[in-house]
Homo-oligomer: A and B are copies of this chain.
Amino acid sequence: MKQISQEKLDHIVKESMPFTRTGKVATYIPELSKANADALGIWIYDVNGETIHAGDVDTRFTIQSVSKVVTLIYALEAYGEEVFTRIGVEQTADAFNSIIKLETRNNGKPLNPLINAGAIATTSFIIEKEGKDGFIKLSNFLRKLAQNESIAVNMSVYESEQRTGDTNRALAYFQKGVKTFSASVEDVLETYFKTCSLEVQAKDLAQIARVIANNGLNPETDEQLFSAQTARMTKAIMSTCGMYDSSGHFALHVGIPSKSGVGGGIMSVVPGKFGIGIIGPALDDKGNSAAGVELLSRLSKEYSLSIFG
């Protein structure tokens, strides 16, 4: 790749590796606790299709909250700004699974689509519009963005989520109770949990991110997968809300629109330049990949990738 050298990338991954030990693998879904805490890998596509990678990029992991970006893109493309009648676009200063603001602000309208309450609301939109086909359409869209037909639900993670996802059930039932949505809670959660349980690799996240970086255009096929306006909105929301309640800290120190998931993945978009996928299952106390954030911070500094200059 023109800008990023293999040697430097290897070096940055190596320097970031010790930070895996500052985090912990997620345990609140039992299946997630089996992940390899020491893994760290990065895959980068530039918008012209060139690629580079370093570290443990073969690691498979469930996409978890990174999927919230794809759910958002799908909904924006399908239904336009009507989505924002149900979901806000402001950062939360509470935890990723907090229920408080549903009660105290906007009467059940979640703060943004990249926290659990908000992604559940976006999913409810899709279920109300598409019915039971919602998940098939959404997951097919994700496969198309990732250019990988083989992406599938990890059923043991999905079942683990279904069994133990009580806090997400609370978020969904609360919204149903205050009429944020009308769809069946169990239908919404089935799609929400399945989407979170899609198994991917760093490369897949990098492919999706590249399309966002390229304003919705698949540079290889010249197919416009979603509109430039949707791409712009997505980057804005990732930038302000993508890293939970440390989104501001991340903007300050990294400045690359990103979304993390508790499976250890981070998807990052360098507008006009790169799509990046990272895997590092050991999480910091905000729920973001500890070494992944370090890696992005070093990469951003080394190559001046911050959108803030």
Contacts and interface: CB of A to CB of B under 8 A. Distances in A.
Contact of A90 (B231, B237, B245): B245
Given A100-B103, A308-B232, A91 B166 contact: no
- Copies of this subunit: 4
Given A89-B248, A101-B93, A255 B232 contact: yes
A176 B166 contact: yes
A171 B169 CA distance: 10
A98 B103 contact: yes
B177 A173 contact: no
Given A91-B93, A309-B272, A237 B248 contact: yes
A105 B89 contact: no
Contacts of A18: none
Chain A contact patch, size range: 35 or more
Contacts of A177: 165-170
A241 interface: yes
Residue in A100, A247, A309 with the greatest tally of chain B CB atoms within 10 Å: A309
Contacts of A170: 99, 169-174, 177
Q: Report, nearest first, the 9 A-B pairs whose CB atoms are least far apart.
A: A166-B177, A167-B177, A170-B174, A91-B91, A169-B173, A170-B173, A90-B248, A89-B248, A235-B308
